[in-house]
Structure 1
């Protein structure tokens, strides 16, 4: 095989490995944070709406920095963009130390915003950087290889959120915490914040080490830097292209649907397990038997179930821990479906596959709304399989044939991650209503992801019939 045909040549192998590791690092940050909506809501004894400010600032940072990051790497280099991203990521993680000491909510939001400004720099820089590390003929395969490490980071983040944070937080819910004296509540709150902050501080230290390594390693240069680029002219030209304009909108609703499904699966499962409880028999069959045998179930929650004390309903904390384990199952289906759907692209056009996946999402979201027991939770888990290839498929459809304009087009698609700010906020407001149309509000709230999937299916349909006909 000639050097030109190789996915990654020996000359850039080390830089490729280092930048690929960054894909896992931002996956970790994304999926350790989603469950923290419920955690902050419980720690500060506020509703789901209060907790979702975490998502607003987290994904708001992506939107705020996407185009500044694109301008920066255009003027300087991809390596410089990576270093700025890592620097902001590390700073955000280390800001959890003073935030924890202060014991207030808003310093944590500042830390999240700084962190995700860094993640926006990383994503905007790393994706085109990987594409540039070799021949154009192998660029897509090279990026797919790098992207395979992102879900690995996501799974690690979910695992840490479940076993290191949620399993160790005080299990008392809102009613029990309200009954505490001010001094007792403050002591529980500060203990929980210390537990929550530790993994973020640790990842901040890891990022510093990564920053130093990349700074010292010789990296490929950004050969196509163009200091005279007309940003506003390029954007105006891009948004005149219907396929791209609609792709940005579809991506915004996809990201919103993903964040809603992976964030509020905790509240969805929490309602089921608080209401119905779990018995020792549940530890001997199904998904819980697997996580229990692997040691993922915390000792305190296992003791509650084994003793029979949780048969009539778990505490909110214990139920949240169990629900997050089902979120890990959802991510597993997401990973498996990604490989399956990638294989299916050999036989099905991207727009058509996107349409099929979105229709599947509509059907399963309907089941999530209408079914109020464990069957509804499994429908919600199945939604993750339908979401598996949506982001890269929309990304590829929207940017196909853009040439050099694709670099700023990519920034627009990263900016569309702001869908993760306002849509979860709306869903949280619905959840706080408790009951809607005589059904649990948390069930009804998944009408928002359902609407998102309808819009995505429409984009897939237009891709087949109009954009790529």
Structure 2
């Protein structure tokens, strides 16, 4: 079996047309990763609602789904960056897919044992694999062309991510949600045997979908192993990781990107995690299966926003587009807080369109102009900020438990304000440089 690291650079570089003929399959495989982790991320939004029913959890307890998931990102992102720095992009991708598939397969015993803790561990393993995938794929895409178009190129590649997100929601909506809704009073009126059967049915609903996902992901890893990847043309490791980290962490511009990404991921995960909960709370009589349609609509808006954003960046600087989109989302999330009901739910749906460009734009602004060593470890640090999804989603759960899910939407509103500040400061610095 051939090595899973990138192919070494040959003595004679291939002609331009030849390189295009030999590299299209690796590029398709890399773009597919955006789809795969999108499906995993947004299945969590379904799991929160499903586990809340299956284990009779509070909003905070159900929110631990995201906490366990994004803790995996946080703890594994830096080891993933170091692994990629040592063994290359392809090896990191394969290892990440193996972890992803293994975590998905763990859902079967977790459901059989009705063990919420084991589910959380399985999600941690999945997220650990995704940390490898995201750390590898995002900087890889920025290397596939001119530096001037790196941000637009990453936005375009990320446009395939919401396709996976939509697929994840549809899988959850049609193959995990059972459509059986029982109030607390109805559950209390059940016999012990009926109650156990109800909870068991809700728990087992996740087994087959995640079994299929695990098998597909592991098969995809095998496909990447046997595919020849072209040389990325990157430099060999030229300095110690400690020295590179010291340089990155001493750069105020890079630190500001870390903060912006932390709050963005927290806002995105928070809005999507509690959209179903918000709709059910403010539109009485709506089942979880019906409420999932709002989440699906939001993901469609997110996908359209990715393509629209990539097109708009031909005419408007990415940082300025980020500034405008952040301002719009502050208004939309505050509207959802002040006007609960169907109009507030539609505001959350629209919010996804304007979130679309934020992650790739902040990411590209964070790594632009950096050496290969700095780009790889910088990517790992930026992926670590995904812990914002754990922290802010848990915070929203606490606010919801103490006040209401409607009030909890003020948390992403504040997060978008942080992104607005980041974009404004970066835009000012760009204007000063041009001036």
Both structures adopt the same fold (TM-score exceeding 0.5)? yes
CA deviation digits over 1:384-416, x for unaligned, max 9? 122111111111222222232122111111111
Q: Aligned ranges for residues 321-400 of structure 1 at < 5 Å?
A: 321-400=289-368
- Name 1:15's counterpart in structure 2: 26
Return the offset for 1:347. Answer: 2.4
The 1:380–1:140 alpha-carbon spacing in structure 2 relative to 1, beyond 3 Å, is closer
Secondary structure at the counterpart of residue 107 of structure 1: helix
Q: Which has the larger displacement, 183-192 or 212-221? A: 212-221
* CA distance in 2: counterparts of 1:468 and 1:183, whole angstroms: 68
Within the alignment, does 1:27 sit opposite 2:38 as a pair? yes
The 1:467–1:151 alpha-carbon spacing in structure 2 relative to 1, beyond 3 Å, is same
- Name 1:431's counterpart in structure 2: 400
Return the offset for 1:379. Answer: 1.2
Task: Name which of 251, 257, 265 aligns with 2:267.
Answer: 257
Within the alignment, does 1:179 sit opposite 2:198 as a pair? no
Secondary structure at the counterpart of residue 205 of structure 2: helix
- Name 1:64's counterpart in structure 2: 75
Within the alignment, does 1:83 sit opposite 2:90 as a pair? no
- Name 1:407's counterpart in structure 2: 376
- Name 2:10's counterpart in structure 1: none
* CA distance in 1: counterparts of 2:62 and 2:281, whole angstroms: 17
Within the alignment, does 1:418 sit opposite 2:387 as a pair? yes
Return the offset for 1:133. Answer: 5.5
- Name 1:459's counterpart in structure 2: 422
- Structure 2 gap ranges (5+): 1-13
CA deviation digits over 1:319-370, x for unaligned, max 9? 2212110111111111222222222222222222211111101111111001
* Structure 2 length-normalised TM: 0.90
- Structure 1 gap ranges (5+): 275-313
Return the offset for 1:459. Answer: 0.6
* CA distance in 2: counterparts of 1:39 and 1:225, whole angstroms: 47
- Name 1:129's counterpart in structure 2: 140
* CA distance in 2: counterparts of 1:65 and 1:233, whole angstroms: 20
The 8 Å contact of residues 337 and 385 in structure 1, kept in 2 or not, is answered as yes
Within the alignment, does 1:231 sit opposite 2:262 as a pair? no
The 8 Å contact of residues 270 and 323 in structure 1, kept in 2 or not, is answered as yes
Q: Aligned ranges for residues 97-176 of structure 1 at < 5 Å?
A: 97-132=108-143, 143-166=154-177, 168-176=178-186
CA deviation digits over 1:191-222, x for unaligned, max 9? 11111222111100101211221122222356
* CA distance in 2: counterparts of 1:409 and 1:367, whole angstroms: 36
* CA distance in 2: counterparts of 1:49 and 1:7, whole angstroms: 55
* Structure 1 length-normalised TM: 0.84
* CA distance in 1: counterparts of 2:249 and 2:230, whole angstroms: 31
The 8 Å contact of residues 101 and 214 in structure 2, kept in 1 or not, is answered as yes
The 1:162–1:135 alpha-carbon spacing in structure 2 relative to 1, beyond 3 Å, is same
Return the offset for 1:429. Answer: 1.2
Q: Larger RCO: Structure 1 or Structure 2 (Cα < 8 Å, ≥ 6 residues apart)?
A: 2
Return the offset for 1:136. Answer: 6.3
Return the offset for 1:463. Answer: 0.7
Within the alignment, does 1:45 sit opposite 2:8 as a pair? no
Task: Name which of 216, 229, 232 aligns with 1:219.
Answer: 229
* CA distance in 2: counterparts of 1:430 and 1:373, whole angstroms: 19
* CA distance in 1: counterparts of 2:370 and 2:431, whole angstroms: 14
CA deviation digits over 1:129-153, x for unaligned, max 9? 3445677687666644532321111
CA deviation digits over 1:81-115, x for unaligned, max 9? 11110110010000011101101210100100001
The 1:220–1:191 alpha-carbon spacing in structure 2 relative to 1, beyond 3 Å, is same
The 8 Å contact of residues 152 and 310 in structure 2, kept in 1 or not, is answered as no
The 8 Å contact of residues 66 and 412 in structure 1, kept in 2 or not, is answered as yes
How many residue pairs get matched?
418
* CA distance in 2: counterparts of 1:177 and 1:225, whole angstroms: 62
* CA distance in 1: counterparts of 2:17 and 2:262, whole angstroms: 34
CA deviation digits over 1:36-67, x for unaligned, max 9? 11211111111111101100011111111111
- Name 2:288's counterpart in structure 1: 320
